[in-house]
Amino acid sequence: MTENLLLAFGLTLMAGLATGIGSLLAFFTSTTNTKFLSFSLGFSAGVMIYVSMIEIFVKAQDALVASLGNELGNWMTVAGFFGGMILIALIDRFIPKQGNPHEVKTVEDMNKPNKEVKDRQLLKMGTFTALAIAIHNFPEGIATFTSALQDPSLGIAIAIAIAIHNIPEGIAVSVPVYFATGDKKKAFKLSFLSGLSEPVGAIVAYLFLMPYLNDTMFGIIFAAVAGIMIFISLDELLPAAKKYDEAHTSIYGLIGGMAVMAISLLLFI
């Protein structure tokens, strides 16, 4: 397991810093390719849903049944799964509405002129969004880290899916801050920092969870990760993909993500 530590930290860092990519895209383009955005979000949802139900949930169930017995193990798997959903739902519940990262924004959305919105309000919106994304990404960092630690191939798949959906979040942070301050560096810095909560989540997992990482703990964490990823896919990714959909693009992305994940599992896991 020790040899996977660097990979686990690296994957978590990569996923988190994708918010910075979104920030850069917002600065250097005046339009958003909505077809590509819809496909990408659908693809990310497909990866998350498939790997959660076919691989992560099953691994959690196997580990918990092996350590706790058939009846208690199955109950703990289900409890962990819905516990993960409740956790991410509570995080969303306490995030200010204007800063909720589940509202995916395009460059055009953020560039719409509104003379009634003052610079201070824009800066506040960008700051709230950055804080919301930081809180929201923290459990995702734990999920990526623990998954990669246990199974590197699975960790790579999860990191890629999370990175894809972090890109629009970077846009949501950087553009209002840029329009409020006129400072691209400040906008990029805030977007960049909001993504760092994922590697912080990995560090917390390493410091406080590592001593207790036995089969039972891995099973509970994996079940919760599956619940978190399903919730994000259904509550965030698919609605956003449909919002920018053109000719069933989002469902093609969803199927494509599932197919790629299925082939990856067959070949590498």
* Residue 136 assigned as binding residue: no
* Residue 248 assigned as binding residue: no
* Residue 137 assigned as binding residue: yes
CA distances (Å), origin 229, targets 50, 127, 174: 10, 25, 25
- Within the chain, residue ranges assigned H as helices are 5-16, 18-28, 34-51, 57-68, 70-93, 107-111, 119-150, 152-181, 184-195, 197-204, 215-232, 238-243, 249-268
Using CB atoms within 10 A of its CB, is residue 97 exposed (0-12), middle (13-18) or buried (19+)? Answer: exposed
* Residue 165 assigned as binding residue: yes
Do 135 and 3 meet the contact criterion of CB atoms below 8 Å apart? no
* Residue 169 assigned as binding residue: yes
* Residue 140 assigned as binding residue: yes
Structure tokens at 44: 């990310």
SS3 for 23?
A: helix
Q: Which residues are annotated as a binding site?
A: 137, 140, 165-166, 169, 198
Q: Which residues are annotated as a binding site for Fe(2+)?
A: 137, 140, 166, 169, 198
Q: Which residues are annotated as a binding site for Zn(2+)?
A: 140, 165, 169
